[in-house]
Chains A and B, each alone.
Chain A
Amino acid sequence: MTRNLFDRAPDDQYRILDTDGRVVDGASVPDLSDEEFVELYEYMKLARHFDQRAVSLQRQGRMGTYPPLSGQEGAQVGSALALRDEDWLIPSYREHAAALVHGQPLKDTLLYWMGNEAGSEIPEDVNVFTPAVPIASQIPHATGLAWAAKLKGDDAAFLGYFGDGATSEGDFHEGLNFAGVFNTPNVFFCNNNQWAISVPRERQTAAKTIAQKATAYGFEGIQIDGMDPLAVYKATTEALEKARNPQEGEMRPTLIEAVQYRFGAHTTADDPTVYREEGEVEEWKAKDPIPRLEKFLRNTGRLDDERVADIETAVEERVADAIADAESEPRPEPSEIFDNVYAEKPPRLQEQEEWFEQVREKYGDDAMLED
């Protein structure tokens, strides 16, 4: 027997809240406490504000190229909140909010995009994998991590993210195919944000949905409204539960296609006005996950003006603190270039480092650094 949620056609998009924040007919809201509902909202507000500040820092030359996430807060926060601490999160390069929810410090995310090696360090007790820039290459890693856990008898589940463009890559196929063959505890979460830089979803695949691709691998796929945080939370929770404890005859892996929109550019180096119409952006902004959840929370008495104002103040302070922390981090030592290449530094690498340090000492850092 399969879980009811996944017993639907791949194009029967799962949704709990309509765009006005009302529960749609026949849907039931997730079993969360009032505080948990508000936490979901707080994280989304935090993610939006962080994103806006990060783009602004890049414009001011205080940060390198940065991939914005606005529009995807519902998908990222809703899915990551479904994880337990022992579960793993395998991001692409845009899941700043999801990683934050699973314990990755904001400061580290800032440092990484500021080009500081210190930002690559994931705390030991946080099960977040290193972000992957080459498209889809993290999908087989997610399968391998889950496979190893299964072989070792651990009951963690593994939530891996990628975009719609990634589904065109061989690694998408190979990762999902292995997951099906070895029945690994994976949830594959496609942030279908409609565009892979400038190439639209229709140019990635002739398939009607991305969710239906799961059928080819022998497990369930479901399309959800990725801008409905409650639907995201519910679907991811059930998929993770299925990964950990499949019922008789159930396959562990699930492919979730979360239909959503990237409001901004692919990265700060990209200009989306070249390839998409403003009207399209406006249409999707009407589905913005944040006001949508806010309306639901206000309508159900979980949120009022005062609480919203408190949350906004707290979010601004938290982001400002993280930026101040990241910007006060000293420039990394050049020795960090040579560290962590091998467990033990080979003689040649040691020689290169020693020679470099001699030159540096002789000429000074000013001679080596661009203004």
Chain B
Amino acid sequence: MSDTQNLTLVQAVRDGLRGELARDDDVVVMGEDVGKNGGVFRATDDLYEEFGDDRVIDTPLAESGIIGTAVGMAAYGMKPVPEMQFSGFMYPAFDQIVSHVARLRNRSRGRYSVPMTIRAPYGGGIRAPEHHSESKEAFYTHEAGLKVVIPSTPYDTKGLLASAIRDPDPVVFLEPKKIYRSFRQEVPDETYTVPIGEAAVRREGADISVFCWGAMTRPTLEAAENLEGEIDVEVVDLRTMSPMDTETVVESFKKTGRAAVVHEAPQTAGLGAEIAATIQEEALLHQEAPVKRITGFDTPFPLYALEDYYLPEPARITEGIREAVEF
């Protein structure tokens, strides 16, 4: 039996990186502050001391440069794991991500591939300055050639990160920083994988399926608890945005006939729309009510005095679920 540690989500990131660095010499961790400083969230703490500056590399402050050079490294047979300090700072690298990271396999007919894992803390809820709290998973999900993963537990974080780093395709790995340190979970010391592309049913229920991911999973579960005895809520944590586990989504919906989607990203053209459309296409005749979207607003993410109002919290989620059921 393997030993375990009781880890926070960010410690699971570090543990996952450590396992993959030790396992495969081609893995390199790179980015601004990831070396000596151990990352602004300490996600790479001590890895520099353990693996040296050829494996855990402090780079110049340049998002396009970090991702662009990582494209070359990956094409040459390495497995770079670049960190974008905050997902809100990824836009300078957006051209590299969509023009090259996502497309190089296709553009070279398979001669070159980009087995890269782009890590970025994302989402709100930590009282950060402007541009530090965005949730733009839909951008990357919309882009063919990328995989997009968002874990919600320490156990999944370590296992999904290992899968992402070992994946032959590029993965955008978004880490919900609001829950980096908010709870702990027993995580095996040894390396293991959690498969990309599989959702997890976090709570079984008969009346409605609520789909969520990342930091929204816990308040959704809290809302489900609040409704105990009134509405029997099934909670499905998608874990992977692309490729999405539509089978689990549709199966759950067929069972309950009602659905809500909870995400912190703005509503318009968010993944809630994608999930609602999938349900329509695959299970219309099981549908008892419109799919309710409980999301962030179609506004810029507010400065922190108002962020609690922006983020879906248990009251809004509870009410949204009620509306979907009482339709």
A interface residues with partner B (beta carbon < 8 Å): 117-118, 120-122, 124, 129-130, 132, 134, 137, 139-149, 151-152, 170-171, 174-175, 177-178, 181, 339-343, 346-349
Contacts and interface: CB of A to CB of B under 8 A. Distances in A.
B131 interface: no
B245 to A, nearest CB: 9
Given A145-B72, A175-B65, 5 more contacts: A137-B95, A141-B68, A144-B73, A170-B64, A170-B92
Contacts of B167: 343
Contacts of B65: 140, 143, 171, 174-175, 177-178
11 contacts: A130-B104, A140-B67, A141-B68, A141-B72, A141-B75, A145-B73, A151-B28, A170-B92, A174-B64, A341-B106, A346-B197
Interface of chain A: mostly helix, strand, loop or mixed: helix
Contacts of B73: 144-145, 147-148, 151
A120 B69 contact: no
A124 B112 CA distance: 10
A263 B136 CA distance: 45
A171 B64 contact: yes
Nearest to B113: A343
B100 interface: yes
Contacts of B169: 342-343
B76 interface: yes
Contacts of A342: 105, 145, 147, 169
Nearest to B105: A340
Contact of B109 (A121, A132, A348): A121
Nearest to A135: B95
- What interface size band does chain B fall in? 35 or more
Contacts of B226: none
A342 B169 CA distance: 6
Given A170-B92, A178-B62, A130 B108 contact: yes
B68 A144 contact: yes
B77 to A, nearest CB: 7
Nearest to A154: B76
A181 B35 CA distance: 15
A348 to B, nearest CB: 6
B71 A152 contact: no
A342 B147 CA distance: 9
B70 interface: yes
Given A137-B96, A177-B62, A121 B111 contact: yes
Contacts of A134: 95, 99-100
In the complex, the 3 A-B pairs of residues with the closest C-beta atoms, listed nearest first: A144-B72, A140-B68, A174-B65
Interface string B140-157: 000011010000000000
B78 interface: yes
Contacts of A174: 60, 62, 64-65, 68
B300 interface: no
B60 A343 contact: no
Given A130-B112, A181-B60, A146 B105 contact: no
A341 B144 contact: yes
B195 to A, nearest CB: 12
B59 A340 contact: no
Nearest to B78: A148
B34 interface: no
B115 to A, nearest CB: 9
